[in-house]
Amino acid sequence: MTPEPVGESVDRSSGTIALSPPDVTGLVPLETVLAKRRSIRHFTGAPVSATELSQLLWAAQGISGADKHGPVRTAPSSGRSVPLEVYTVTPDGLGHYRPTEHELEMLRTDDLRSALAEAAGGQPCIAEAALVIAMTAMTARTAEKYEGRAGRFVALEAGHAVQNVLLQTTALGLGAVPVGSFDDAKVSELLALRGGCDPLYLVAVGYPQR
Ligand SMILES: Cc1cc2nc3c(=O)[nH]c(=O)nc-3n(C[C@H](O)[C@H](O)[C@H](O)COP(=O)(O)O)c2cc1C
């Protein structure tokens, strides 16, 4: 399938991209995905398609159903406090994932990858990635219920969500590396994070260079 550039489906009037419905069946067994997962730091430069982007965002924080307490997401959340906010950085710009609507709100239309790589100590995997998924958190949401343990719970949740992304990239034949070494203030500024929202993790994603 020829990758479809993400920007082609941007609705410029509303600044949002309607994402395609997630694939909830898949063809690769979980055990195969677990056995194949590796950190990949070199990419071909080929873009990630709109369908792949949609699938990765759903894996990160998508709504996968509902029960008597409300919506359920693909990653667990302490007391359903849902502190995580997911951002995307691609050549098309900066996006913010809205799980309820399963859409991407475009916040900027310039390519921030090089600046983000610089904020991550010059790590080339960020500049070379077709897509960087930034996992950020509003810890105050969790602190309302779990005051003393909010920091711990939020970090654990980010790990759950990022592992979902890593496994989904593997299942799609993409490569990825989780990146935790970066300058928090610089990344916050680039992503234009609101006060109280902190960057926790970046995931560089692309087609693996073999
Ligand atoms: C919390 C955390 C932070 C990480 N930060 C970075 C990073 O900043 N840059 C990088 O290249 N890899 C980073 N990694 C990836 C590790 O280097 C990688 O997982 C490790 O070398 C093992 O390789 P594997 O993922 O292929 O099993 C990070 C991994 C974790 C769990």
Ligand 1 atom, smallest distance to 40 CA: 26
Confidence of residue 14 (pLDDT cuts 50, 70, 90): very low
Given a contact cutoff of 8 angstroms between Cβ atoms, the answer to whether 27 and 133 are in contact is no
Q: What would the mean pLDDT of 131-139 be, rounded to a whole number?
A: 98
Residue 2 CA, ligand 1 centroid: distance in Å = 30
* Residue that has been written with the tokens 């010059």 in this structure: 122
pLDDT digits (tens, 9 = 90+) for 33-70: 999 999 999 999 999 999 999 999 999 999 999 999 99
Please indicate whether residue 123, judged by its CB atom, sits closer than 6 Å to ligand 1. Answer: yes
Q: Does position 197 have pLDDT exceeding 80, yes or no?
A: yes
Q: Does position 7 have pLDDT exceeding 90, yes or no?
A: no
Pocket test for ligand 1, best of 36, 38, 39 (most atoms within 8 A of CB): 39
35 C-beta neighbours (distance < 10 Å), count: 10
Ligand 1 atom, smallest distance to 120 CA: 8
pLDDT digits (tens, 9 = 90+) for 148-189: 999 999 999 999 999 999 999 999 999 999 999 999 999 999
